[in-house]
Structure 1
Amino acid sequence: MTIDYDLSSIQEARDVARSAKAAQGILAGYSQEQIDKIVTAMFEAARDNAEWLAKMAVDETKFGIFEDKVKKNLFASQNVYDYIKDMKTVGVLKEDPERKVIEFGSPMGVVMGIIPSTNPTSTTIFKSLIALKAGNGIVFSPHPNASRCINAAAQVMHEAAIRAGAPEGIIGCISKVTQAATNSLMHDENIAVILATGGPGMVKAAYSSGKPAMGVGAGNAPVFIERTANIKKAVYSIVTGKTFDNGVICASENSVLVDEPIKEQVVAEFEAQGAYFLNKTEVEKVSRVVMTPKGGMNAAMVGKSPHVIADKAGIQIPDGTRLLIAPLDGFGPGYPLSYEKLTTVLAFYVVKDWEEGCYLAIDLLSLMGAGHTFCIHSEDETVIREFFRKPVSRILVNTPGSLGGIGLTTGLVPSLTLGCGTLAGSSTSDNVSPMNLINIKRMAYNLKSAETKISFICKHDELNIDNITAVVQEIVAKLK
C-alpha cells in the first residue's frame, strides 16, 4: 500500500509540473500589462481570504497565533504587492543610451516552491505572487503537517489568476505529500529553479538536486542591547518580535546580549513587559522540553505559548507571561537553548561592553545562524556601524527582529524567503523578490574599434628603457 501511494504521489508531482510547464509557455508571451492584471487579482484574492486561511493554518499545524497569521497573510499579499506592483519584470527593463546597453527581462520557467509548516499560507501567497510577477509558473511541495492549508492557499491563488486571464495549471500543488513526490519534483525536467523555505535538511536537498536553487538558512538571531539604547523601546521591540506568531519567523530574536551597566534596568523592563526569568533548575527543565540533546528543536514545542511550554516542563509561571527568558553561562553543547528556538523562549547573556557583545554574537552565529540576521538596539551610531562586520545578511537597528527582517518595520524588501548568502551555503543574501526569479538579457552595441587599438599596440613590438615612457603616453592618448 505504501509503495502504491508513493508511486501515485510521484505521478501527481509529474503531472502538476508538466501542466505548469505548458501553462508557463503561454504566460511567457504575455505583456507586462497582462502579467500585472493577473498579479493584482491574486493579491486581492489573498487579501480577501486572509482570515479563513489563517484559521485553517492554526487548526492544522497547531502553531502560532491566529491573529498574527492573519497579519502575515496580509503582509504576504498587501505589502508584497505594494512593493512589486510597478516593478518591470518582462520585456525591456531599462536602457542605457550612453553605454548603448538594453536590458530585457525573461522568466526562468517553472518554480518549485517548498513550503514550511511554520508560515504555510503566507509563504504560499508570497511565492505565488513573486513567481507570476516574474512570468513564471509555480508548483508547491507542502510540508506534510500543513498540506491542507497550503493546498487551499494555492487554490485561492490559482483560481484568481485564471479569472484574470492566466492559463490553466500555472499554479499547482501536490496533494499526496510524500518524500518521494518532493524528490521527484526537485529532479523533474520541467522545473527550472527551486525556491526552498523549510528545515535545513530540505534546503540542503534542494541545493543537491542539480537544479538552480535559492534557500534559507537557520535563524538563531542574537540581539544586543547596548548601554545607550532606549531600554523601554528596546525591550518592547524584542518582546514584540519574539512573541509575534509565537516566534516561528526565522528572523525572530533567539538570544539577548545585554551591556553590563544596564543589566538591572533591562531585567526590570523585561519583567514589566511580561517576561519571566527562569532559574537554573527551570532552565534545565525547559531545555529538555524545547530542545533535543543535540541542539535540535522539539517540533511539538515550536510556536507554542509560554504556558504550554511551562506546563510541559512542570514549572509554574505567572498568569499573563508572554516570554520565557533563560540566563545562560555559555553556548553550544551543554547549553541547548543557545541554538535556534522557534518558540517563546529567549537565551540571556550579560557582556561587559559592546566589543565583548560583538565577539559573543559572532560565536552564537558561528554555532548556528551564520548569514541570517543580527539585531542591535543603540543610540550610538559609531557602535552600530561596527556591527557591519557581523557574518549576517541583515543587521536590524532598533526594530523587532522578525518583523524587521521580513521588511514589515524596515525598508528591506518585503519577503518571506530570506537568503543567507554563502556563509550559509545559499546562492543569495537577498530578501527574495521577483527580480531573483527572472533572467536578464543584455543587448550591447559596438562603441569602440577593437582593430585600431590592437594594431596600434602591436606596432610597438620592441620596447626599451629609452622609449617606453613615450610609447605608454602615446598608447594612453590613442585609447582615449
Structure 2
Amino acid sequence: MNLTEADVQKIINSVITNIEKKLTDVVPTAAAASQAEPAKQAEVFSAVGEHGAFDRVEDAVKAAHQAQVHYIQNYKLEDREAMITAIRQATLSNKNELAQMIVTETKLGKLAHKLAKLELTATKTPGTEDLKTLAFSGDDGLTIVELGPFGVIGAVTPVTNPVETIINNSIGMIASGNAVVFNVHPSAKKCSAFAVQMINKAIVSAGGPANLVTMVKEPTKETLDQIVAAPETKLLVGTGGPGLVKALLSSGKKAIGAGAGNPPVVVDETADIENAAKEIIKGASFDNNILCIAEKEVFVVDSVADDLIYHMMNNGAYRLDQQELEQVMSFALEANEKQVARGCSLDTKRVYHTVKDWIGKDAMSFLNKLGINPGREIDLLICEVDFDHPFVQLEQMMPVLPIVRVKNLDEAIEMAVKAEHGNRHTAMMHSHNVNNLTRFARAIGTTIFVKNASSLAGVGFGGEGHTTMTIAGPTGEGLTSAKTFTRQRRCVLAEGAFRIV
C-alpha cells in the first residue's frame, strides 16, 4: 500500500504528539522544574562560581558542559524562549547600571550610546524564531533538516562592545541549544562578570539550569588557550582583531571569526549631500567611533566635496586645519618603532599606531587638548588629507574622520577598496545612481553595505533586519544569529518504510 504525503504527515504528527506527551509526563517543563524540583536542580548544578563567574577555567567549562547536557535533554523550544525573554527583560531593567559600568571600566565611548546598544541587543537579537527546519517530501519519502547545537561554545569578547557582545552572543547561543564559556577582554572583566551573573540569574528565574553562560573571572591569553583546548568546547567564536581570528582558526576546531574593519564611505555627485553629511556624522561619531562598522574615511567626488564639508560643519563637525591636524597626530598617533601589528591589520610595516589613551575619547577632549573652544558641542573632527595619510589607513577608532577628494567615481572606488584592506567588513555609499551603488558594492565585497544611511543601519539601528555584535567577515558567516551557532542534521524517512506487503 502506498501512503500519500498527507498520510505520512499524519503519522509523523501522531508520533511527535506521543513523544511530547511522554516527555511531559517524565520531565517537567522549565517553569515546572524550577518550582517542583529545586532540590534536584541545586544538586546537579551546585555552584562552584558566582552565578557563572569562575576562578578556574576547568570549572567554568565543566559547569557549562553539565548545564548544556541537561538543557538539551530536558527543555523545549518554548522553554528556551522563556529564558531568552528573561534575559531581554533583565538587560532592559539593568541597562543604566550596565552602561555606566562599561564607561567607567573601559573609559571608551559615550554613556547614551552604550544605552542605545544595550537596548538594541536586548530587543533585536534573534531568538528561537531564527531556527527554521527545512523539509523535503516526494516519491522517495520525507527528509527533515534540523538545526542542532554544537554543545559548549568558547567565545571571546572585545573591549569595544563587552557587555553588548555577551548579551547578543548568549541569546543566540542559548536559542540554538548551546552553552557558552566566555573569555572576556581583561579591560572589561568587571562589567562582563556583572552581565554574565545577570544572565544566569535571569535564566534560573525562568526555570532554566544554572551555568548555561560562564566565564573565568581573570581572563588571560592562557585562559583562552585552555578554553580552546578543552575537549568539551566544540565551537569557537571570536570577536576582535585579525590576530585573534588567526589564533582561533589555527586551533583545529570549527571557528567563527569576527575581525576588525576600516569602513570607507563613498559620496558621488548624485547624492543628497546634506543627508549624506548628517548620516556620516551619525555613524562616525556614534560611541566615539569605536564600532568596527563605523565610517573611518570618506572619499568624495571633488565637485561636491565643498558642499559635503559645509553641511558636516553645520551638523556637529569641526574642521581641523593643517596645523591642528599635525597637533592631533603628535599626541594621538605613535610611531611603530618595534614594527608590530595592531588594530585592523597584521602588517608589521605600518608607520603609525593609535595611542591607546585616545581611543574612544570624545571630540571635545581633543579640542580641549588643542586649547580650542568652538563655542558649541562638537561630535566629530574632520580633516582633508591625501590617500596615504595614517588616518585613512588605520582603523583609528577615534572621532577623527579623514576626507579625501577624488576626481571621479572610478578613483573613489579604487581608493576605498585599498583603504578597506580586504577586511570585507563594512562600507557605505551615498548616491542616487543605482548603477554607481552596484559598482561599488561588487568591488568592495563587504559583509555589510549601507546605501544612503549611516553605518548603524547595517546592524538594525535605523535600518531593517536583526542586530549582531559579532560580524563574521573573515570566516564568511556574516551577521551572526542563533542559526549561525548550529550544525545541520539531516533526518531521512524513506518511502519504503511505509510500504505494507
- Do the two structures share a fold, i.e. TM-score over 0.5? yes
Q: 2:291 aligns with which of 237, 249, 252?
A: 249
Aligned residue for 2:79?
Answer: 34
Partner of 1:467: none
How many percent identity over aligned positions? 27
User: 1:226 aligned to 268, 290, 296, which one?
Assistant: 268
In the superposition, relative to structure 1, how do residues 291 and 429 fare at CA in structure 2: closer, same or farther (>3 Å)?
Answer: farther
Superposed, which structure 2 residues align to 1:285-434 within 5 Å?
285-293=327-335, 294-312=351-369, 314=370, 316=372, 318-319=374-375, 320-331=377-388, 335-366=390-421, 370-389=423-442, 390-401=444-455, 403-420=456-473, 426-434=474-482
Deviations 1:66-118 (A, max 9, x none): 111011011111111xx4352336xxx23122483211121111112211111
**Contact 1:256–1:346 under 8 Å retained in 2:** yes
Equivalent residue runs for 1:248-267 within 5 Å: 248-267=290-309
Deviation at 1:240, TM superposition (A): 0.6
Deviation at 1:345, TM superposition (A): 0.8
Change (3 A) 1:198 1:213: same
> How far, CA to CA, are the matches of 2:493 and 2:57 in structure 1?
44
Instruction: Give structure 1 regions of 4+ aligned residues with deviation exceeding 4 angstroms.
Output: 445-448
Q: Which amino acid aligns with 2:65?
A: K
Q: Which has the higher contact order (CA 8 A, sep 6+)?
A: 2
C-alpha distance after superposition, 1:383-419 (max 9, x if no partner): 1111222132211101111x12322223343111111
Structure 2 unaligned blocks of 5 or more: 1-52, 336-350, 497-501
CA deviation string 1:431-472 (max 9, x = no partner)? 001111011111245589xxxxxxxxxxxxxxxxxxxxxxxx
Counterpart pick for 1:54 among 74, 94, 99: 99
Q: Does the 8 A contact of 1:290 with 1:309 survive in 2?
A: no
SS in 2 for 1:413: coil
Structure 1 residues 288 and 184: CA distance shift in structure 2, 3 A = farther
Secondary structure at the aligned position of 1:157 is classed as helix
Separation of aligned partners in 2, 1:152 and 1:241: 28
Aligned to 1:392, the other structure's residue is in SS state coil
CA contact (8 A) 2:54 2:216 kept: no
Matched, 1:104 2:146: yes
Report what 2:44 is aligned to.
none
1:282 aligns with 2:324: yes
When residues 209 and 288 of structure 1 are mapped into structure 2, their CA distance, relative to the original with a 3 A threshold, is: farther
CA contact (8 A) 2:263 2:294 kept: yes
* 1:224 aligned partner, one-letter code: V
The yes-or-no answer on 1:164 pairing with 2:206 is yes
Question: How far, CA to CA, are the matches of 1:102 and 1:316 in structure 2?
Answer: 65
- Separation in structure 2 between the aligned mates of residue 175 and residue 392 of structure 1, nearest angstrom: 35
CA separation of 1:317 and 1:339: change in aligned 2, threshold 3 A: farther
What's the TM-score, normalizing by structure 2?
0.81
> What amino acid sits opposite 2:153 in the alignment?
V
* Residue identity matched to 1:432: T
Q: Are residues 1:12 and 2:69 paired? A: no
User: Match for 1:270: what amino acid?
Assistant: M
Give the SS at the match of 1:414.
coil
Shift of 1:315: 5.3
Structure 1 residues 436, 85: CA separation in 2 closer, same or farther (over 3 Å shift)?
A: closer
Counterpart AA for 1:231: I
Deviation at 1:336, TM superposition (A): 4.5
Q: Name the structure 1 match of 2:238.
A: 196
Contact 1:57 1:149 in 2 (8 A): yes
What's 2:127 paired with? 84
Q: Is it true that 1:68 corresponds to 2:116 in the alignment? A: no
- 1:182 is matched with 224
Deviates more, 1:14-23 or 1:199-208: 199-208
Q: Is the 8 A contact 1:292 1:336 kept in 2?
A: no
Query: 1:10 offset after TM fit, Å?
Result: 10
* 1:173 aligned onto 2:222: no
Three-state SS of the structure 1 residue aligned to 2:275 is helix
* SS of equivalent residue, structure 2 residue 292: coil
TM-score (norm 1): 0.84
For residues 42-62 of structure 1, the C-alpha deviation after alignment (integer angstroms, 9 at most, x for no partner) is 111112111110111011111
Q: May I ask how many residue pairs the two structures share in their alignment?
A: 424
Q: 1:382 to 1:337 in 2, by over 3 A?
A: closer
Q: Which runs of 5+ in 1 are unaligned?
A: 1-8, 421-425, 449-480
Q: Is the 8 A contact 1:10 1:181 kept in 2?
A: no
The answer to whether the Cα contact below 8 Å between 2:319 and 2:382 also exists between their aligned partners in 1 is yes
Secondary structure, aligned partner of 2:466: coil
Counterparts in 2 of 1:258 and 1:315: CA distance versus 1, 3 Å = farther
Structure 2 CA distance for aligned equivalents of residues 318 and 205 of structure 1: 45
Distance (whole Å) between structure 2 residues aligned to residue 405 and residue 52 of structure 1: 27
Change (3 A) 1:106 1:126: same
Deviation at 1:295, TM superposition (A): 3.6
Equivalent-residue separation in structure 2 for 1:161 and 1:195 (angstroms) = 22
